[in-house]
Structure 1
Amino acid sequence: MLAPQLVDIYIEAMDYDPSIRESRINVWRREISQPGFTALCALHHEEVVGLAYGYLGSPDHWWDQQIRRGFRDTGGPDVEHLELLRDYFEIAEIHVRPGLQGHGIGRHLLVELLRHAPASHAMLSTPEVPDEANNAFGLYRSMGFRDVMRHFHFNGDRRSFAILEVPLPLPEATEKLSSPGS
């Protein structure tokens, strides 16, 4: 029921062409059946302003297959890559309306999403930006995410992405959630 509204936030936050709206709504509706699926919304004055969802990674998923291709293209996968791919929670989407980014909403969504994630690592992809100078990179770095692969191109997207991971559980997540500047 909320999928159209959530996809609109995704399109706005990622600056995607609105023509992808219907196809993304259909994908998101299918993904709720994935093992380990967890989703959260952030509300501000009873309006949905952010979302996060994810599920257990699997070799059957498009994203996992893309990451494996990236590892092969760069001479891998190595032992560390294989360990990550064996047991991870894919943060499929995390988005906050652009005008509300940088106020702790994304941090809260991410902490809560990963609080009970049934895996030993979480992985995500985020568009590359010069000098990592955006709210997303600031959030991920402050929570301990590290590089797995940089300047990766997903099939069908012209942009370059960073693939990041963090070990779970997030031991300092609650401290950082309440720290100044969150």
Structure 2
Amino acid sequence: MESVKITIRRLSAPEFSMLCPHLVDIYERAMGYSQEDTTRRISTWRSDSRHRGFNAVIALSGDIILGVAYGHLGEPSRWWHREVATGLRSSGKKAENYEAILRDYFEISEVHVEPAAQGRGIGRALITDLLYLAPASYALLSTPEVEAEDNLAFGLYRSLGFSDVLRNYCFYGDLRPFAILGRPLPLS
């Protein structure tokens, strides 16, 4: 893909919901997933847009959407929060080392860029804008583990100052190990 001007645009929850089918298509292409769960994924993403502190951004080249990122404030009632808390408790880490984070964090739920546009700074721009003035003290995200952190996602997260919170955690219902990464906010 040749060099193009990218614009980051914040979406309201209704705009995000309307665009969900297209945004989930980007997610499926970026992750290499089949489309057999597309309807369920769209429903889940739309449901996420109703959570406290929801924020979403897209990357545009003209009127073509090249990437999406969204998240919301962490909530103890949410599945992801309960899974991360369980993983941290079972890891043997001292509660005082993670309880403050779990009380006040912004969950980066998804960050995806069209495969042909990856490696051009779009993911960095999406995360930076997503977290701008995020109403929390920390940002947390999960990403699939890869050998020696050898992929663009890990490189991006490390360059933005994300560090290990929990490694090699298998979420309920998923056999793949994940890394939970976090950093204090605001971004510098």
Amino acid at match of 2:63: E
* Cα displacement (A) at 1:60: 0.8
CA distance in 1, matches of 2:22, 2:67: 10
- Asked if structure 2 preserves the Cα contact closer than 8 Å seen for 1:68 and 1:77, the reply is no
Which residue in 1 is equivalent to 2:13? none
The equivalent position to 2:83 in structure 1, one of 43, 61, 66, is 66
Alignment pair present for 1:23 and 2:40? yes
TM-score of the aligned structures, taking structure 2 as reference length: 0.87
CA distance in 2, matches of 1:156, 1:9: 23
- Asked if structure 2 preserves the Cα contact closer than 8 Å seen for 1:56 and 1:89, the reply is yes
Alignment pair present for 1:34 and 2:51? yes
* Cα displacement (A) at 1:17: 2.9
Which residue in 1 is equivalent to 2:27? 10
The equivalent position to 2:96 in structure 1, one of 71, 79, 94, is 79
- Asked if structure 1 preserves the Cα contact closer than 8 Å seen for 2:131 and 2:187, the reply is yes
Which residue in 2 is equivalent to 1:48? 65
Which residue in 2 is equivalent to 1:149? 166
Mind listing any 5+ residue stretches in structure 1 that lack a counterpart? 172-182
CA distance in 2, matches of 1:138, 1:78: 28
Mind listing any 5+ residue stretches in structure 2 that lack a counterpart? 1-17
Compute the RMSD of aligned alpha carbons.
1.1
Aligned pairs, number: 171
CA distance in 2, matches of 1:108, 1:77: 34
Q: Percent identity?
A: 52
* Cα displacement (A) at 1:72: 2.4
- Asked if structure 2 preserves the Cα contact closer than 8 Å seen for 1:40 and 1:51, the reply is yes
Which residue in 2 is equivalent to 1:126? 143
- Asked if structure 2 preserves the Cα contact closer than 8 Å seen for 1:128 and 1:160, the reply is yes
CA distance in 1, matches of 2:137, 2:31: 28
- Asked if structure 1 preserves the Cα contact closer than 8 Å seen for 2:70 and 2:111, the reply is yes
CA distance in 2, matches of 1:70, 1:77: 12
- Asked if structure 1 preserves the Cα contact closer than 8 Å seen for 2:89 and 2:95, the reply is no
Amino acid at match of 1:88: Y
- Asked if structure 2 preserves the Cα contact closer than 8 Å seen for 1:148 and 1:164, the reply is yes
Amino acid at match of 1:57: G
